[in-house]
């Protein structure tokens, strides 16, 4: 019983103080490892890798994994509930507040500035994935050859996906998961990961 309470409390803390997305929970996980010895840094690195290569929010995946490693299926549920409880409480309060003040000029004017900011932040996140996908800086640094810098297959797939998701009228209405599944198959067939 104690371990469940402790799991809930530790992840509640991570959910309360980690601001700005899944990876922000990582320092809290290191802290839990130091304090409790439930898992090692090495195990944590594996958990991060798996959380990034499975569907779902990365922070939730990590909480589930740590909870499972520590205390089985009940542990995974409790750690995840601990992580999301602060979010639920805080967002419900803010949502109520917004509803009450949605006609306020200040709230509306703040959103006038927030919306392009939100678009800019998302664009920057997309740009970092873009660099990760298209540029192989390690290979370039090793060979000094510009042909190694840009991933040609990645570029071709990207152009094709853009055509099918945004230009071609017949296919652009398809559910995004269709394109994700197709990309996974292409990645496997053409060994995009290089292994």
Partner 1 sequence: MNQYLDLFLTFARIGGLTFGGGYAMLPMLQREVVEKRGWASEEELMDYYAIGQCTPGIIAVNTATFIGQRTAGIAGGIIATLGVVFPSLIIISVIAAFIQNFADLAIVQNAFAGIRVCVCVLIFNAVVKLWKKSVIDKPTLCIFLVIFIGSAAFDISPIIFVLLAALAGILLKNKEAAAK
Kindly tell me which residue out of 37, 103, 105, 138 binds partner 1, with binding defined by CB under 8 A. Answer: 105
Span interacting with partner 1, options 2-10, 29-37, 113-121, 138-146, rule CB under 8 A: 113-121
Kindly tell me which residue out of 127, 137, 141, 143 binds partner 1, with binding defined by CB under 8 A. Answer: 127
Q: Which residues pair with 84 in a beta bridge?
A: none
Q: Which two tokens stand for residue 193?
A: 């990961």
Whether 52 and 17 have beta carbons less than 8 Å apart is answered as no
Span interacting with partner 1, options 1-9, 33-41, 91-99, 135-143, rule CB under 8 A: 91-99
What lies within 8 Å, CB to CB, of 151 at 6+ separation is 133, 134, 135, 136
| Closest approach of partner 1 to the CB of residue 107, in Å | 9
* Residue whose CB is less far from partner 1, 23 or 149: 23
Q: Which residues pair with 135 in a beta bridge?
A: 150
In angstroms, the Cα distances linking 41 to 32, 92, 129, 153 are: 10, 35, 26, 35
| Closest approach of partner 1 to the CB of residue 132, in Å | 7
Whether 152 and 134 have beta carbons less than 8 Å apart is answered as no
Span interacting with partner 1, options 2-10, 27-35, 140-148, 151-159, rule CB under 8 A: 151-159
Kindly tell me which residue out of 7, 18, 32, 44 binds partner 1, with binding defined by CB under 8 A. Answer: 18
């Amino acid at each position: 019983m104690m371990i469940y309470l402790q799991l809930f409390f530790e992840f509640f803390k991570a959910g309360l103080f980690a601001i700005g997305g899944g990876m922000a929970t990582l320092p809290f996980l290191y802290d839990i490892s130091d304090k409790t010895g439930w898992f090692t840094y090495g195990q944590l690195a594996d958990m991060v890798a798996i959380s990034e290569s499975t569907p779902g929010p990365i922070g939730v995946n990590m909480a589930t994994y740590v909870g499972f490693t520590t205390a089985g299926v009940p542990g995974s549920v409790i750690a995840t509930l601990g992580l999301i409880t602060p979010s639920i409480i805080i967002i419900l309060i803010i949502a109520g507040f917004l509803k009450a003040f949605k006609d306020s000029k200040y709230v509306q004017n703040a959103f006038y500035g927030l919306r392009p900011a939100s678009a800019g932040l998302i664009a920057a996140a997309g740009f970092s994935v873009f660099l990760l996908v298209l540029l192989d800086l390690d290979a370039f640094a090793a060979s000094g050859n510009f042909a190694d810098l840009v991933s040609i297959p990645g570029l071709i797939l990207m152009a094709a996906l853009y055509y099918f998701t945004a230009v071609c009228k017949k296919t652009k209405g398809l559910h995004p998961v269709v394109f994700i599944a197709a990309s996974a198959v292409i990645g496997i067939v053409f060994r995009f990961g290089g292994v």
